[in-house]
Chains A and B, each alone.
Chain A
């Protein structure tokens, strides 16, 4: 199969809209059959008030065919979970972390969803539409180095 068989939009972008359950299977096919070897980007769009609320948008590029494809899937607010693509693309690790930071999407299978652009202790997910732009965050207290050293020496 050639990538031309995918749905081509007016601007030359190919697009697929799928169910979250079919994500891994679709990406597997995109990568092996259509040679979409470069994982460009993942982000979410928060359609607040609609159901399912979050739309996940993936972009892939094929260095052989020189075309891009956009993959979209929607996840609900009460369980914003989707399978991670780390088993296919190394670059997914970082980009999924960012999406987790900003929208609170959980990528099942990505074992490293630490805060990346934000910090530990940040409350909420800033790119959600119900997060006010002028929201203030609690100040992170200084580390208690003496207490930590104390714990460390006891453990040793």
Chain B
């Protein structure tokens, strides 16, 4: 009979390093860790001496599953990586495939994707800030932010048919154009956003309790942050203005006016403030994009990836065959490899794809910011209090779906 396995998670330290410390287990299912993440911590009194974060509870074999589906059919899976900002995942993935196929997007699609990426970023940051406020007791702040987020979700459901899992990107374009009146409602929501976020600023920014819980807690320096692979708001909170939208512009970001907000100390307060400021910048960008948005088609005119019009599928044989081939065999992506990265809400979201010239990918790999951030999360916890794990973890914003894939 085979030997019984021990706890499936083996900590790097099962025993305390010295007398006077104790090892405690937090999670994987714990009310304060949104997402199933396990942290094993060695405590000296209330102070965390060592921490070992463990993930994998949400692993669904995303990358393996991708190898069995056509390039188009895995877009719904991509939604489920970072489920707070599914549209950014859609567009980052589609861009990797488009680059490999050598496709140039139509202007309307390019601007629309930029607009929706920023809109998604707002929803993601709202979720992150709301959850971290709630975890330290600020229930009003949570409700204000989640209210705006719900406006956005309902508004995106109008466009895509789903609140969270949009499946709206298509290789070479988008699923459909904007419905009538969508931009007018967008304008209303942005106005509402400003009112509600103004309330958050006045509730939180100079709030004694909030500052005590977040200032100088979970501090990381720029050099350490880069060493541990941190990107996105966490790296910017340390004072480094590193943002892919500025550094390696993609979509329509080169034509937009926006700032890259940075923090001073790299602590929880800075991460809160950087996210709040980034949302303001996103609103500023969306307003510019609403003016810039040109008319025209949203899908490229390329039979290799774009489905023919239904009217033609039913009336001519070429379009019927084209439709059939695209659905049954998938778009034929030229052999090669491509790494394409977008600045997602949490950091650099990269897709590394390998094609052998067929309708299904040979390999799809996601460089997910959450996973890399979890690898360095112990640096933000060690040396601080046990109670600080909760706000620190909230400010890192690890999304289980993206971390575990």
Contacts and interface: CB of A to CB of B under 8 A. Distances in A.
Interface residues of B, number: 49
Interface in B3-37: 4-10, 12
Interface string B56-68: 1001010111011
A117 B404 contact: yes
Secondary structure type dominating chain A contacts: loop
Interface in A112-139: 112, 114-121, 126-127, 131, 133
Interface of A: 11, 13, 37-41, 43, 45-46, 57, 59, 61, 63, 66, 68, 70, 89-91, 93-95, 98, 102, 112, 114-121, 126-127, 131, 133, 140-144, 148
Interface in B212-266: 224, 226-229, 231, 240, 242, 247-248
Nearest to A114: B10
Contacts of B372: 91, 94-95
A59 B362 CA distance: 19
B interface: dominant SS: mixed
A118 B4 CA distance: 18
Which 8 A-B residue pairs are closest in the complex by CB-CB distance?
A94-B375, A91-B229, A119-B8, A41-B367, A117-B56, A66-B247, A43-B365, A117-B59
8 contacts: A41-B367, A63-B226, A66-B247, A70-B339, A90-B228, A90-B379, A94-B374, A142-B4
Contacts, number: 113
Contacts of A89: 227, 229
Nearest to B404: A117
Nearest to A40: B367
B12 A40 contact: no
Interface in B65-82: 65, 67-68
B352 interface: yes
A45 B59 CA distance: 20
B284 interface: no
A133 B375 contact: no
A116 B404 CA distance: 9
A13 B336 CA distance: 13
A121 B350 CA distance: 30
B376 interface: yes
Nearest to B8: A119
B20 to A, nearest CB: 17
A61 B227 CA distance: 12
B204 interface: no
Given A38-B229, A43-B352, 19 more contacts: A41-B367, A59-B339, A59-B367, A61-B348, A63-B242, A68-B341, A91-B372, A95-B229, A102-B63, A114-B10, A120-B5, A121-B5, A133-B61, A133-B64, A133-B67, A140-B5, A143-B6, A143-B7, A144-B4
A57 to B, nearest CB: 7
B226 A98 contact: no
Contacts of B374: 94
Interface string B341-375: 10000001010101000000011010100011011
Contacts of B108: none
Contact of B365 (A41, A66, A93, A126): A41
A94 B371 contact: yes
Contacts of A91: 227-229, 372, 375-376
A118 B229 contact: no
Given A114-B12, A115-B56, A121-B5, A45 B61 contact: no
B204 to A, nearest CB: 30
Nearest to A46: B363
Given A45-B354, A117-B404, A126-B61, A93 B4 contact: no
Contact of B229 (A40, A70, A116): A40
Given A95-B372, A95-B375, A118-B56, A59 B227 contact: no
A125 to B, nearest CB: 11
A10 to B, nearest CB: 9
B61 A121 contact: no
Contacts of B61: 126, 133
Given A45-B354, A68-B339, A120 B10 contact: yes
Contact of B8 (A66, A94, A120): A120
